[in-house]
Amino acid sequence: MSDDTPALPTNAPHPNEDSKPFWDAAAEGRFALQHCDDCDTVIWWPRALCPACSSFDLTWYDASGNGRVYSYTVVHRSVGGWNAVTPYVVAYVELDEGPRVMTNIVDCDPDAVSIDAPVRVVFHDTGEGWALPRFTLA
């Protein structure tokens, strides 16, 4: 990615009671996930109960922020503020902890992205007190 490439839009999230710990951690540069203390499931997207066993016994922890590209596409046409930043990469990243996260792969040539490429989390400031986690090639 060249220095003159516009940054991806960074709209601020609207945290709710379940997702606020995730967004608070992201604002501090930490990638937090939930863990079910009853069935040992690692959970993505933040929620009140475990999707595997319906337990409410969930614990937040700082995840590694590392993973691999599971699937991706390069977007060449878009609308709104996204049109100005094409091409950009939308990907599913399989985290080292297990869950898959839909995200963007940033700060690289889109042609350099490949299935199973190692990635690490980076945070983009929204300018509104929050940060968006995205991933870059490791």
pTM of the model: 0.92
Ranges of the chain with pLDDT below 50: 1-4
pLDDT tens across 4-41, in order? 455 888 889 999 999 999 999 999 999 999 999 999 99
Q: How far apart are CA 84 and CA 133, in angstroms?
A: 20
Q: How far apart are CA 42 and CA 112, in angstroms?
A: 29
The whole-number pLDDT of residue 81 equals 84
CA 41 to chain centre: 18
Domain chopping of the chain, boundaries: 20-137
Q: How far apart are CA 37 and CA 58, in angstroms?
A: 6
Q: How far apart are CA 132 and CA 121, in angstroms?
A: 10
